[in-house]
Amino acid sequence: MVKKLTKGFWAKTANIILRNRILILLLILSTTIFLAMQWDKMQFSSSQANLLPDHHPVNVRYQSFLKTFGEEGNVLVLAVKDSSLFTPEKFNRWNKLSKQLAAFPEVEFVLSTDNLKELVKDTTKQEFVLQPFLKKNPTTKSEIDSLASHLFNEMPFYEDLIYNKQSKTIRTIAYLDKDIVNTPARKDFILEDLTGLVEKFEEETGLDVHVSGMPYIRTMNSQSIINEISKFILAALLVTSLIFFFFFRSFRATIISMCVVIIGVMWSFGVLGLLQYEITVLTALIPPLIIVIGIPNCIFLINKYQQEVKKHGNQALSLQRVISKIGNATLMTNITTASGFATFIVTDSQLLKEFGIVASINIIGIFILSLLIIPIIYSFMPLPKGKHLKHLNTRWIEAFVNWMETIVREKRISVYVVSISLLVISIIGIYQIKISGSPIEDMPKNAGFFKDIRFFEEEFDGIMPVEIVVDTKRKKGVLKPATLKRIEDLSQVVHEIPELSRPVSVVDLVKYSKQAFYNGIPKYYQLPTTQENTFIMDIARKSSNNSNLLKSFVDSTGQVARITTYMKDVKTTRMEEIEHKLQENITKTFPEEQFDVYMTGSALIFLKGTKYLVNNLILSLALAIGLIAIFMAYLFRSFRMIVISLIPNLLPLVVTAGLMGFVGVPIKPSTILVFSIAFGISVDDTIHFLAKYRQELTANNWRIKKSVYAALRETGVSMFYTSIVLFFGFSVFAISSFGGTVALGTLVSATLLFAMLANLILLPSLLLSLERNIANKEVLKKPQIDILPKDEISDKELE
């Protein structure tokens, strides 16, 4: 019954499409115009991707920290490492740059040598006051040398904050307005105003300015993503069109296919705008993905059309059969591909949900476009000439199919030995896979901003914020001597970890207060003793300037303090070791009954997010496998066929995972996508092969061998064509400057190549070896849907 309904549905669909050609083209045109009008609503990502759901405990604490102390990723840093900076002209020009920077409304505050404050004791009023480090612009080299000596040797509070004592590197810190730091206004300020200021300074002084900080890194990284979108689209179009033309040797077939995928790309941008999703490193991949996935649809449809024309030369019937016969198969394969992407929707990660929604919608969209546009456009054209059909008899393709048939016929034992060997070796490789939680690992290594990241790691020990929050559980508990001593002990542990920068906290301010109390003598930069504490802290409380400084380190109630440090880009295992060491010392230093202490910051958020994502995507892959297994069960109504069909699709995933372990490609947000994407696409070949095999069984009186070889010869060419297009199509991602995108493209390409060989060699071998178990009418009952119905042609149809 279902079979008859399906057959009738596609016959009616073919008639509707071919009888309403102009109307359908107008509908496609109007839809494309509507979606193109949504392009201006597209947004480019302004904030760092948070891979954790809002309700996750780690995220809850991070949001609590932001509520108390504000955005921690709002710091821009500029630095110069050049001895010639310490000359009157260049030093004053550096200070002028700080003034210019501070004048922008987007900048909340600038800390530099221009406005550096020195804490001193006013003996008359018995309070601490902040005096300017720079009382006037220096005019001689000796004045600058004196200032530099005073800064480097007598102001330890600013060490590793404003200067590096060993290398004499000087830096300026700009705090952006927290209200604009995660908005598009940040991008305009950094790309236009800041860049213009820095370039002018470099031109006038000949000094090389290094710029970094999370707002700058995010902006430059987003700009790199934007720049790569057009590069990917053009590369994907060029590669797929060249391969398409090489196979079909037809300009018009190539142009028609390119029109289909270009409209598909326009739709994908329109859907992003319509849903008002941000363009991230993941959603930026969707337009080229649509090209790569759309071309196989065009191959199947055009190949079928040309086969029909060659068979009987009737254009109307050929077009009708393209829609009614291949339309069903293409729908099934596109649904399985979309299912692979749609499984990301069930994850709690907003980033992946958006990627899954847009990708799955547009995969179905490109199927509809190809099914409508190709038959309609061909209906207005003359029949293909003989030269357009020559590719159907290409000798080297025939040789390839013969080679596969020979292996399946004569070397099945070797196929199983190789498959099992690959499985064992790959499992060994899987145990060597590492997880990467670094937010900058995938960034373009040759970009200037990435080189500046390395510069600041070397000079100031990192740029990724790590925060330790100390809640004393009582008001004004932070400034208690015992609490300050505990914070100092923990800060010392942080300072001893080479991958972390010198920590900054309220302890540094208290130490600076003691130094000021003893007339600025550097050796007194330490916590007050019990005897000193009473009168030093009493003077500190009277100092209004000090209370302003305290806001950066302690909340308004005096109950919660923060310890701020910055982490280098380190491997995930090392990051976890650091986290464990800090947690161990937190537990030892701060009793749980008296303090609530936790670690947060964007560096740790990304690490936790990656690990959370890995767990979610394993679930997502399992769901994709389950959905497709159910789909296969619905099609073939046989448990044994489900198992047989999954083997050649799961083996390539295991091989790819093993390969990742051996070559050192870590599991991270970009590479974990490989498995769901590749599985959703590779199972298409299995469906095509098994559908043809099922059809041949019926036609050949359940003779297994004849049916397998016939299915292999019939589907081998199309599977080879589409696999080659997909292989080279995904390979275009290798031109990316983002490490994760390169890994994604090459791994998916490799997986799909393995999958093609598995479906064309291992799958037929399994069918032949297990023929007694599966080749009977009880096991292979009539399917619910005939994907590839018989190609009977009646005299009436030919009229």
Give yes or no for a contact between 476 and 256, defined as CB atoms under 8 angstroms apart: no
Residue 58 lies in a domain: no
The rounded distance, in Å, linking the Cα atoms of 86 and 90 is 7
* % of the chain surpassing 90 pLDDT: 14
Give yes or no for a contact between 358 and 286, defined as CB atoms under 8 angstroms apart: yes
Query: Which residues are CB-neighbours of 774 under 8 A, at least 6 positions away?
Result: 638, 640, 641, 644, 767, 780
pLDDT tens for 493-543 read 999 998 888 898 888 888 888 888 888 888 888 888 877 777 676 666 655
The rounded distance, in Å, linking the Cα atoms of 592 and 283 is 43
Which pLDDT does position 252 carry in this prediction?
Answer: 83
Number of neighbours of residue 227 by Cβ within 10 angstroms:
11
Give the chain's largest Cα–Cα span. Answer: 114
Q: Tell me which amino acid residue 182 is.
A: N
The rounded distance, in Å, linking the Cα atoms of 241 and 755 is 23
pLDDT tens for 170-211 read 999 888 887 777 677 788 888 888 889 999 999 999 999 999
Residue 570 lies in a domain: no
Give yes or no for a contact between 9 and 786, defined as CB atoms under 8 angstroms apart: no
As for how many domains the chain has, the answer is 1
Residue 238 lies in a domain: yes
| DSSP β-bridge partners for residue 484 | none
Which pLDDT does position 437 carry in this prediction?
Answer: 63
Number of neighbours of residue 249 by Cβ within 10 angstroms:
15
CATH at 728:
1.20.1640.10
Q: Which domain holds residue 794?
A: 2-48+219-431+606-798
Number of neighbours of residue 82 by Cβ within 10 angstroms:
15
| DSSP β-bridge partners for residue 117 | 132
Give yes or no for a contact between 789 and 651, defined as CB atoms under 8 angstroms apart: no
**Closest of 105, 34, 107, 55 to residue 273, by C-alpha:** 34
Residue 269 lies in a domain: yes
| Residue 103 DSSP one-character state | T
The rounded distance, in Å, linking the Cα atoms of 677 and 458 is 39
Position 264 confidence tier, pLDDT thresholds 50, 70, 90: very high
The rounded distance, in Å, linking the Cα atoms of 155 and 268 is 56
The rounded distance, in Å, linking the Cα atoms of 274 and 43 is 11
The rounded distance, in Å, linking the Cα atoms of 329 and 367 is 11
Number of neighbours of residue 35 by Cβ within 10 angstroms:
20
Residue 335 lies in a domain: yes
267: three-class secondary structure by DSSP: helix
Which pLDDT does position 364 carry in this prediction?
Answer: 92
Residue 40 lies in a domain: yes
Mean pLDDT score across all residues of the chain: 81
DSSP codes, 679-739: HHHHHHHHHHHHHHHHHHHHHTTT-HHHHHHHHHHHHHHHHHHHHHHHHHHHHGGGG-SSH
pLDDT tens for 284-314 read 778 888 887 888 888 878 877 877 777 777 8
Beta strands in 16-155, from DSSP E residues, in sequence order: 43-44, 75-80, 107-111, 117-122, 127-132
Give yes or no for a contact between 463 and 213, defined as CB atoms under 8 angstroms apart: yes
**Closest of 25, 22, 15, 10 to residue 316, by C-alpha:** 15
The CA-based angle 680-686-688, given to 5 degrees, is: 110
Residue 301 lies in a domain: yes
Average pLDDT over residues 360-376: 91
The rounded distance, in Å, linking the Cα atoms of 373 and 315 is 16
| DSSP β-bridge partners for residue 163 | 159, 170
The rounded distance, in Å, linking the Cα atoms of 296 and 278 is 28
Residue 718 lies in a domain: yes
Position 608 confidence tier, pLDDT thresholds 50, 70, 90: confident
Which pLDDT does position 24 carry in this prediction?
Answer: 92
